[in-house]
Amino acid sequence: MHAIAKCFFAGLFILSGITKGLASGGPAENKELLMETLKNSGIYSTDAPSDTLIPSLLERSPLFFDAVFRKKDDLKIQIIYTSIDRDKKNKIKFTGHSFQLDSGNYFYPASTVKLPVAILALQRLHELKIAGLDKNSTMITEPVNDWLTGVNNDPSSADGRPTIAHYIKKILLVSDNDAFNRLYEFLGQEYINNSLHNMGYSSTQIIHRLEISLCEEQNRLTNPVSFFDSAGILIYQKPAEKSQLNYAGRNTRIGKGFYRSGQLVNEPFDFSKKNRLSLQDLHNIIRSVLFPESVPERQRFNLRKEDYDFLRRYMSMMPQESGSPVYTSPDYWDTYVKFLFYGAEKGKAEPGIRIFNKVGDAYGFMIDAAYIADFRNNIEFMLSAVIYCNSDGILNDDKYEYKTVGLPFLKNLGRIMYEYELKRQRKMKPELASFQYQYIH
């Protein structure tokens, strides 16, 4: 066995965080749901997954992975790979493999929290059951004060109207922060977290807006939001609210120092009141959007077929394929926010390949969770990964190794797994027509 493989195997602690969670106790119903979730998650399958698969594949490319995996613990690397096989009736079997997967090893989820919030916004519209209210209704956010600002128009939309549909497009196309904040205000802390916890994502905490710096109490407050029909008639109004959510306390500190107001503070940065979303939960949320029938009914979002198609289309669309919003700037290239497989590349996307994903990067963490489909070669698989790119241990100094460590790692990981999938034997070719969409405007 090569030395690098021994290093990999020594670091494999599959599902340790989940096992700790079960051992810690809790309501029997939650344990039962968690076990059902695990059974269907792609980590467990009818055939026991080989936990050596990922490191054995990466071992074959030491030029790309040797140096990175020598520091795998410092880099907080976690990987989930799920292969997909179909039978003659197109019924799907998932087989999962993971590397260093540990829900107790915190990483800052950054923009990946936008995906569950976007999905929940569509779900909430259905639950309200208000005639005429849908994702294309005009959404006006009223200001409350200087830091809870409002929105009454959106110059990036074709007709200037802010809508839930348009906010979701901006989130999935370019990971827009303000769009997320507006959906966070529409839903509120309690709805977001209670909904996800009831579905089995019990460790998830989405408790603050992005990009703007607000304290815990300020993030509990949400603006009043009003929806209007095409004639300008009020359909629904959600008042300003203050969340009473009691979320579990954490003691999560990372690094050896951080900058605050331009001054270096020589102590770990406190993430205890920051958003939390484990890689396994994110991976499963992606799966629930692409394959809702494959997860337990309780874990399915309350969506219609047109909602699933809407989400899938914009998760896989490239920015310059969008007619509204329009992204013609060179700042938004074909493979923008497609870290796995493309990394920092700014060239044209590979013909026939579509990546349905959500990325995030902040505080040195880089994350991507994706379903990757190659329509020319009839292959499909899921891949999710996180890496921490902050060798000096100082946060908020803007000295993160995204370009030199994070993006090359995610690109090479995506390519290695893709090459493996190209060669992997399948009894049946997958029927992928349901994931092919019209993209150009």
Q: What is the pLDDT of residues 179-189, one digit of tens each?
A: 999 999 999 99
Contact assessment for residue 323 and residue 441, using Cβ atoms and an 8 Å cutoff: yes
Tens-digit pLDDT profile for residues 199-245 = 999 999 999 999 999 999 999 999 999 999 999 999 999 999 999 99
Classified by CATH at the fold level, domain 3-435 comes out as Beta-lactamase (3.40.710)
pLDDT at 44: 34
Query: Contact, 233 vs 202, CB < 8 A?
Result: no
Residue 300 in this model has a pLDDT that exceeds 50: yes
Q: What is the pLDDT of residues 160-177, one digit of tens each?
A: 999 999 999 999 999 999
Which residue ranges make up each domain of the chain? 3-435
Q: Where are the alpha helices (DSSP H) in 53-188?
A: 53-59, 62-70, 114-128, 164-174, 177-187
Cβ atoms within 10 Å of 367's Cβ, excluding its own: 28
Question: Over the stretch 69-105, which tens digit does the pLDDT of each residue have?
Answer: 899 999 999 999 999 999 988 889 999 999 999 999 9
Specify the pLDDT at position 441. Answer: 57
Question: In degrees to the nearest 10, what's the CA dihedral of 360, 362, 364, 366?
Answer: 0
Tell whether the model's pLDDT for residue 33 goes beyond 90.
no
- Output the pLDDT for position 89: 85
Q: Where are the beta strands (DSSP E) in 35-150?
A: 78-86, 92-99, 138-141
Q: How far apart are CA 74 and CA 53, in angstroms?
A: 22
Beta partners for residue 359, in sequence order: 368
**Beta strand pairing call for 394-395 and 257-260:** parallel
Asked if residue 35 has pLDDT above 80, the reply is no
Record the tokens describing residue 437, joined without a space: 């969409």
